[in-house]
Amino acid sequence: MSTDAEMEQYGPAAICLRKPEKERIKAQNTPFDAKMAFIVTDPDEVYVKCKLIKREGGKSTVETEGGKTVTVKEEDIHPRNPPKFDKMEDMAMMTHLNESSVLFNLKERFASWMIYTYSGLFCVVENPYKWLPVYDATCVAAYRGKKRIEAPPHIFSISDNAYQFMLTVENLVQERLSTPNVSSSTSQQLHELRRNHHLARCSFCCGKNICIYQLQVLLAVFAL
C-alpha cells in the first residue's frame, strides 16, 4: 500500500484514489468484535453499521452507530468486515463478501469520492455527477507503466495494463516470426495477429475508439 509521500505523484487526485496513511493506521488499531459487529438494513440509508445486543425468537436487537435501537428479523443483519477493510480497494479481498458488505463498501468509498473500486477482475465505477481531479495529465502520467497491483483502482490502470499486454504479445509474435521451421499456416496466423495489433495500437495512439476481440489465434501463438 502506497505511503502519503508516494501518493503525491498523483497530484490533487490522490485523495480521491486511496485512503490516507493516518486513516489506514487508525482502522488497523480500532477494536473489533466479530461476534457483535453487523450491518443492518435501514429504510433511509439501505445499510448501516450496528452492534448486536441480543437474539431471541428468530429476531435480533441491535444498536446502530447513530445510537438507535431496532429489532429486526435475523436475516436482516449481516456479518461486518473488520475496520481494516473499510473502503476496500478490491472487494474480492474482504472477509465477508455479500450484498450488504459490497454496497456498504461502495457507499463509503463514494462518500470520499473514490469512484473506482475493483471486484476481482472487474472495475466498478460510480458516477459522481461532478468533475473530479482524477483525469488530468499528472494522474495519467502516474499510472503509466504500473502494474494493476502497484496503483489505486482506476480506468487508467486497466487501459495501460491492456496496452502493455498488447505490446508484449506483439513482441512475442516478432520472436516467433524470426524462428526457423515455423509452418506456413502458423506463419500466416502470426502475420495476421501482428497486423491486428498494429491497427489497434495505431487507433489507440490516434485517440480513436477501438474494439478489442479475443482472438483464438493467440492460443496458437502460446502453444508453439
Q: What is the pLDDT along the chain (224 residues), one digit of tens a residue?
A: 778 889 999 999 999 999 999 998 988 888 999 999 999 988 888 899 999 999 998 899 999 988 899 999 998 999 999 999 999 999 999 999 889 999 999 999 999 999 999 999 899 999 999 999 999 999 999 999 899 999 999 999 998 888 888 777 666 666 655 655 555 555 555 555 555 555 555 544 444 444 444 444 444 444 44
pTM above 0.85, yes or no: no
Residue showing cell 487501459: 159
**Long-range pairs for 36-43: beta carbons < 8 A, 24 or more residues apart:** 37/79, 37/80, 38/62, 38/77, 38/78, 38/79, 38/80, 39/77, 39/78, 39/79, 39/80, 39/100, 39/101, 39/104, 40/64, 40/70, 40/72, 40/76, 40/77, 40/78, 41/72, 41/76, 41/77, 41/100
